[in-house]
Every structure is written in structure tokens, then in C-alpha cells.
């Protein structure tokens, strides 16, 4: 190895109770001074802040993955290869991978993708070109199939996945309604992203507003949050409608996870609840990225990326802010050099 590096990484110091707080995380340092054959050293440039992380911070094996106490916090990053002993990677290349919340990481290259910066800027590989964009792309186009005659509701519309999903549904000609937590974010959805309607679900009459703008019923409910908004919306699901279970952010910090009460409407309306996991589409990521970057360059879509600059120490604060709904699009920590 040419140099020694001091890595800084964020680990879990205690299992959060309710919303994760800053002091549930700690920052530790370690020295990196060796690179074995086939390994690469990556310097992190951008860290994606993922809502799903909260579900993993549990003292139980109830879910597929977990982060245990003292473990490195999981997270997708975009970084630059600064040393390589792996013939597939060269110094200076930008890569994307689930390498965790840390300044430097050593990897054997497995599961690491190269970012083609001709297609999009590096930070966009965590938003529109990353899992949020890919999730919106395949779950809508392959599963929900929006079309001009359809009413689409995006719950969690201003987040990383929702902000792209709404734009793809608009491209398909559907009428698109979004829900989010503030009037400012509603304005942004309409003015910046072209949503037809946006509803602040913190308002007490949000459901009346939703029913009024969905002149007929909803053909597609694209659900990122679960909870009360999804539950109430089921009352106006359309005939043979689809409720795409993309995520359940409202439940991730809860001890006891609750499903919807109004499921009976699915039976009456011959509608379905449909699960979805992006990793099923791994062999088609390239196809999606070519289309997404083409739409970006043709200014047909935006890839909203909410950048905050700082050191890895800033991660706990931004993770708290994500759950306060402070992000417009994908929350990304841009690391200082
Ligand atoms: N199925 C898949 O393969 C797949 C892939 C990627 C992501 N996902 C899931 O998709 C969902 C969205 O992910 P994302 O990365 O795009 O996150 P995100 O929407 O960018 O960020 C989380 C947002 O959730 C909202 N929120 C926070 N606490 C909430 C609560 N208690 N109730 C309702 N809303 C709350 C906030 O928006 P408001 O201001 O609007 O409240 C916040 O901005 C997550 O559940 C994630 O797990 C699934």
C-alpha cells in the first residue's frame, strides 16, 4: 500500500427506542495500512441516507438483515478507487456499493458497480441512477403499469423513491397525486416535479382533499410509508387497482408493526396488495439506467438529490432529519475532503 489511511466510521452504540437519536451512534477511527490481492481501497465521496436503515437497528432477528451493536452502519456510498490490487478496478474510477457509513473502505469488489459519469454526475448514482430511481422505474413500469387513463397516488411523494416515481407516472400520462408532510413540499412537488396535486397529510382534512381530487377512484397506490395515509387511501382504491408495497417508513421505528384496517376494500374492488424488492431486477439495472439518464438529459425528469456537506460525524444528525421529513428527494451526505 502506498500510504496509511485513518478511517472514520459510524457504528451503532445502542438500539434506538422509537426514532433513532444522535447518541444511538458513535464515530470510531481505525488505521488502514494493508491491501490484499484482489482488494480495492475506496475513498467515500457521497453517502446515501436510507429510511430502511431504521428497520435494521433492532435487537432481534425478525427481519432479513440487521445491524448489531458496535457494527458498522450499513449504507450505500459513491466513492473513488484510490488504490487497487484488483484487475477489474483502476485508480480514479468512481464506484457505487453498499460499503457502509465510513470515510474509507476496503473491498474485494464483490457487489460493487462502476459509475459511468458520462451518464450522470456521481451524486445522482445514489438518487435517480441508484436504488431509488431503479425502484421507482421497475415497480411502476413493470408492475403498476401507469397509463393516461389512470389515477396514481404516490404516498411519500417527496422522498428519494417517491420523487422519481411521480415523474415516471406523469411521463406515462397518468394523473398523479402525491402526499407529503408540509405545504412547502407540496408546492415543490407541483412546481418542480409536475405533480397534478399534492396533499399535506398533516392537515386534518387531507383525506377529504384526496377524495375530491381523485374524481374517480385510485388505480395505483404507490406506498412508501404504510400507516394511516395508506390505510385511509384503501377506501378509494379502484376496481382491479394495485397497491404497491414499496416501503413502510411509518412503521420502521415502531416496536409493533401494524398493517391496514381497511383491507376489506381490496376484496370488494378486486384489487391487490403487491410486494416488491428491487434486487429481483439486478440483471436489468443497465437498461433502466440508460432510460433514466436519457430522460434526465432530455429534461423529461429531474433526479432530486438533497446534498448536505460534512464529515461522517454528521450522519446521525441527517438520519434524524430524514425522519423529520427535511429532505426533498434523496438525502445525501457529501463528504468533505
Ligand atoms: N421495495 C424496494 O425494493 C425498496 C427500495 C428502496 C426503498 N424502499 C423503501 O421505500 C421507502 C422510501 O424510501 P426512500 O429512500 O425514498 O426514503 P425517503 O422517502 O427519501 O425518506 C423518508 C421520508 O419518509 C417520510 N416519513 C418519515 N417519517 C414518517 C412517518 N412516521 N410516517 C410517514 N412518513 C414518514 C418523510 O417524508 P414526508 O415529509 O413526506 O413525511 C421522509 O422524508 C422506504 O420505506 C424504503 O424502505 C423500498
Instruction: Flag whether 59 is in a domain.
Output: yes
Residue 330 has a pLDDT of 98
**Mutational test site, ligand 1, from 57, 195, 224, 274, max ligand atoms within 8 Å of CB:** 224
Do residue 145 and residue 229 come from a single domain? yes
Do residue 192 and residue 255 come from a single domain? yes
Instruction: Flag whether 230 is in a domain.
Output: yes
Do residue 113 and residue 29 come from a single domain? yes
Distances (CA, A) of 182 to 202, 223, 307, 326: 7, 18, 20, 10
Instruction: Flag whether 158 is in a domain.
Output: yes
Cβ of 160 below 6 Å from ligand 1 = yes
What is the CATH number for 331?
Answer: 3.90.180.10
pLDDT digits (tens, 9 = 90+) for 104-163: 999 999 999 999 999 999 999 999 999 999 999 999 999 999 999 999 999 999 999 999
Mean pLDDT, rounded, of the chain: 96
Instruction: Flag whether 285 is in a domain.
Output: no
Q: Whose CA is nearest to atom 40 of ligand 1?
A: 180
* Confidence check: pLDDT of 3 > 90: no
* Confidence check: pLDDT of 63 > 90: no
Closest approach atom of ligand 1 to CA 278: 3
Spacing, Cα 224 to ligand 1 middle (Å): 5
> Under 8 Å CB-to-CB from 70, ≥6 apart: which residues?
11, 12, 13
Residue with cell 490481492: 37
Residue 72 has a pLDDT of 97
Residue range 238-248: average pLDDT? Answer: 98
Overall number of domains in the chain:
2
Residue 23 has a pLDDT of 95
Spacing, Cα 325 to ligand 1 middle (Å): 9
Do residue 34 and residue 100 come from a single domain? yes
Residue 225 has a pLDDT of 98
Instruction: Flag whether 287 is in a domain.
Output: no
pLDDT digits (tens, 9 = 90+) for 180-213: 999 999 999 999 999 999 999 999 999 999 999 9
Do residue 118 and residue 138 come from a single domain? no
* Confidence check: pLDDT of 1 > 80: no
Do residue 238 and residue 316 come from a single domain? no
Do residue 121 and residue 178 come from a single domain? no
Q: For residue 215, what pLDDT band results from cuts at 50, 70 and 90?
A: confident
Question: What span, in angstroms and rounded, lies between the C-alpha atoms of 45 and 336?
Answer: 8
* Confidence check: pLDDT of 171 > 80: yes
Do residue 147 and residue 270 come from a single domain? yes
Do residue 48 and residue 170 come from a single domain? no
Do residue 137 and residue 264 come from a single domain? yes
Residue range 270-285: average pLDDT? Answer: 98
Cβ of 327 below 6 Å from ligand 1 = yes
What is the CATH number for 148?
Answer: 3.40.50.720
Residue-number span of the structural domain to which 93 is assigned: 5-127+304-335
Instruction: Flag whether 286 is in a domain.
Output: no
pLDDT digits (tens, 9 = 90+) for 279-315: 999 999 999 999 999 999 999 999 999 999 999 999 9
Do residue 138 and residue 273 come from a single domain? yes
Give the rounded percent of residues in the chain with a pLDDT score beyond 70.
Answer: 100
Spacing, Cα 75 to ligand 1 middle (Å): 15
Q: Whose CA is nearest to atom 29 of ligand 1?
A: 250
Do residue 140 and residue 117 come from a single domain? no
Spacing, Cα 159 to ligand 1 middle (Å): 6
- Helix 285-297 vs helix 131-138: angle between axes, to the nearest 10 degrees? 100
Closest approach atom of ligand 1 to CA 160: 16
pLDDT digits (tens, 9 = 90+) for 44-62: 999 999 999 999 999 888 8
**Mutational test site, ligand 1, from 18, 19, 51, 307, max ligand atoms within 8 Å of CB:** 51
Amino acid at each position: 500500500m502506498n500510504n496509511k489511511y485513518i478511517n472514520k466510521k459510524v457504528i451503532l452504540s445502542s438500539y434506538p427506542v422509537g426514532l433513532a437519536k444522535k447518541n444511538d451512534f458513535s464515530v470510531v477511527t481505525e488505521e488502514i495500512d494493508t491491501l490484499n490481492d484482489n482488494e480495492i481501497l475506496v475513498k467515500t465521496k457521497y453517502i446515501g441516507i436510507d429510511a430502511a436503515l431504521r428497520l435494521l437497528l433492532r435487537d432481534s432477528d425478525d427481519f432479513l438483515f440487521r445491524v448489531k451493536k458496535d457494527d458498522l452502519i450499513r449504507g450505500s456510498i459513491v466513492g473513488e478507487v484510490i488504490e487497487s490490487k484488483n484487475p477489474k478496478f483502476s485508480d480514479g474510477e468512481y464506484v457505487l456499493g453498499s460499503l457502509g457509513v465510513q470515510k474509507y473502505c476496503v473491498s474485494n469488489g464483490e457487489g460493487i458497480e462502476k459509475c459511468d459519469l458520462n451518464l450522470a454526475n456521481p451524486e445522482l448514482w445514489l438518487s435517480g441512477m441508484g436504488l431509488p430511481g431503479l425502484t421507482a422505474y421497475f415497480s411502476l413500469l413493470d408492475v403498476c403499469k401507469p397509463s393516461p387513463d389512470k389515477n396514481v397516488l404516490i404516498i411519500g411523494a417527496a422522498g428519494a423513491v417517491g420523487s422519481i416515481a411521480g415523474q415516471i407516472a406523469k411521463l406515462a400520462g397518468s394523473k398523479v397525486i402525491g402526499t407529503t408532510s408540509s405545504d412547502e413540499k407540496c408546492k415543490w412537488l407541483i412546481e418542480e416535479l409536475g405533480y397534478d396535486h399534492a396533499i399535506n397529510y398533516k392537515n386534518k382534512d387531507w383525506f377529504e382533499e384526496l377524495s375530491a381530487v381523485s374524481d374517480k377512484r385510485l388505480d395505483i397506490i404507490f406506498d412508501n410509508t404504510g400507516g394511516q395515509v395508506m390505510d385511509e387511501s384503501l377506501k378509494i382504491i379502484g376496481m382491479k387497482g394495485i397497491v404497491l408495497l414499496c416501503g413502510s417508513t411509518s412503521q420502521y421505528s415502531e416496536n409493533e408493526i401494524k398493517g391496514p384496517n381497511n383491507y376489506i376494500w381490496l376484496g370488494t374492488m378486486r384489487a391487490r396488495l403487491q410486494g416488491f424488492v428491487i434486487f429481483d431486477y439486478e440483471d436489468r439495472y443497465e437498461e433502466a439506467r440508460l432510460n433514466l439518464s436519457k430522460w434526465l438529459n432530455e429534461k423529461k425528469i429531474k433526479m432530486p438529490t438533497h446534498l448536505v456537506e460534512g464529515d461522517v460525524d454528521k450522519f446521525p444528525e441527517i438520519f434524524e432529519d430524514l425522519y423529520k421529513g427535511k429532505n426533498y428527494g434523496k438525502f445525501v451526505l457529501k463528504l468533505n475532503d
